[in-house]
Chains A and B, each alone.
Chain A
Amino acid sequence: MSLIERIPHDSAFRSPWVLGWIGLVVTVLAVNATMVYLAFATSPGLVNADYYERGQNYEQTLLSRKARAPQWTIEADIPAALKVDKSEWIRVFLVDKAGQPVDPDAVTFYAYRPSDAGQDFSIPMTREDRGRYVAKASFPLIGVWDTLIAVHSGEDEYSIGERVSVGRY
C-alpha cells in the first residue's frame, strides 16, 4: 500500500490545497533558515569583539588624547566627484597651532566599506611637501565609503574621517 493510499479518504491531507500551503510554509521557513545561516557564516566582521571594554575606556581615552593633543590642524582634500575605479589624488595638510606645516612620523589613508569589511583597503601617504601628504586611491565599488586619514606621531595617532560617495562614470 502506497503512502497516499494509507491516508483516510476524509483526511484534509488528501487535498492538494492543504499540501500546497504546507509546502509553501516549509519553503518560507527553509529560506529563512538558509538566510540566517548565511548571515552568520559570511559575516564581514564589522563588529568590535571587545566593544564593552572599549566603551568603558571611552571617556578616559578621550581625556588622555585631549591632554596629549598637539593642537594641530589636519585637513583632508578628497575630490568631491569620485568615480568607481578611477584613481584620484587624496591629500592631507597638517599645520601646528601657529599655522606652520608639520611632518609626523607616518600618514595612512584608510577606506572602509560599511557593508563589507572584505573590501576595506589602506594606502600609506607619501610626503609631497612640508606638511603635505598625498596618496593615489581608487575605489573599486560604487556607493558609500568611510574614509579615515590617520596621522602617527610618536605613540599617538590622530585621525580625521569623512564619508564619501562613489558614483558611476
Chain B
Amino acid sequence: MAEHNPFPGENNTGHVWDDNLRELKNPPPRWWMLGLWASILWVVGYSLLYPSWPVGQEPTPGILGWSQMKEYQEGMAQVEAKRAKFEDQIKGMSANEILADPGLKQYTLASAKVLFGDNCSACHGSGGQGNPGYPVLADDDWLYGGTTAKIAESIAIGRQGAMTPHKDILTEAEIDTLAKWTVQMAETNGEGGSEEGWNLFKTKGCTACHGQSGNGVLAELPGGNIVTVGAANLTDGIWRFKPGGYESARYTIVNGVNQPSNPDARNAVMPAFGQTGQLTDQEIKKLVVYVHELGGGQ
C-alpha cells in the first residue's frame, strides 16, 4: 500500500496498491439502496401485520389477527359446511335409501372410506379383501347375512361365533373322517362329501349350527334374510381360517372356536363398535353402505 495518496481529489480512501490500484468511496448503486430500504420497510410492515417476533410462549399477534391455525380451522369449517348438507340428509335416511340415491351414495362411500381405513382395514384388509383369520368383506359369502340390516348389526353389536371343541367328544377316526369330508365338500361345492362324513355330520350335532345342508343357513326368511349363528358355509369352498384344507379343518374340529376354557381354540371375535361408543350411529350407517358396496351386498 502506498504511503501517500498519488491521486488526491479523486474521492478514494487513500488505499493504493501496486502504484495505481486504489479503493474508491463510490456509493452503492441506487437500485441496490432502493432494494435495501424496501426490504427494511417490508420487514417492518410484515411484523406489524402478521405474527412474527417470539415473545414468551406466543409470537406477536399482528394487526390482521391472522394465524396458520385459524386459517386451517376456517378451511375445515368450510369443508364441514359443505358436508353438513349431505350429513343432514343422511341422518334421516336408512342405509337402503342412501344406496338408492346415486349422489348421496357417492358422498357416503367417499366419506366412509376414511372410517373403514381407521376402524376396519386392520383386520379385514385395506380393500376389504380379508386376511388370514379375518373374513373377506368383498365377496358374497356372509357368515351373518349380507343385508344392510345384518351388516349394521354386525358392526354395532359385534359378532362372536362359538364352536365346541370336539377332541373329547369324537374319536380320532371320526375327527379324521369329518376333516376329510370338509375338504371334499369345499372342493365339490357341497356335492361330493363322503357318505360316512355326512352320517357323522348329521348325527354328531354339526347341523345345529352349520345347517342341514352344511351351508351355514338354519332357516330362510322372506325378503332374502336368513337365520344363522355365524357358522361357516362348508359348501362354497371359502375357508374361514386360511390356508384351509385338512389341517385347518381338523384343528377347528378338535379345538373349537372362541372357547375361553381352551387357549388353543380359534379366536374369531368382531368388536362391538356401536355398543362401545367407538362409532356413532351415523358413522355405522356410512360403513354399512361402504361394506355393502364392496362387492357382495345382498
Contact = CB atoms under 8 A, between A and B. Distances in A.
Nearest to A80: B127
B132 A97 contact: no
A61 interface: no
Contacts of A32: none
Nearest to A78: B126
Interface residues of B, number: 25
Contact of B248 (A93, A99, A130, A131): A99
A80 B132 CA distance: 18
Contacts of B131: 75, 77, 91, 93, 132
Interface residues of A, number: 21
Contacts of B243: 73, 95, 97, 99
A95 B243 CA distance: 8
Contact of B247 (A80, A89, A98): A98
B144 interface: no
A93 B247 contact: no
B61 interface: no
B121 A99 contact: no
A98 B251 CA distance: 6
A128 interface: yes
Nearest to A88: B126
Interface in A81-116: 89, 91, 93-95, 97-101
A79 interface: yes
A109 to B, nearest CB: 15
Interface of B: 117, 121-123, 125-127, 129, 131-134, 239, 241-244, 247-248, 250-252, 264, 266-267
Given A89-B126, A99-B247, 20 more contacts: A75-B242, A77-B126, A93-B133, A93-B134, A94-B132, A95-B241, A95-B243, A97-B243, A97-B247, A98-B241, A98-B251, A99-B132, A99-B239, A99-B242, A99-B244, A99-B248, A100-B266, A101-B267, A131-B132, A132-B123
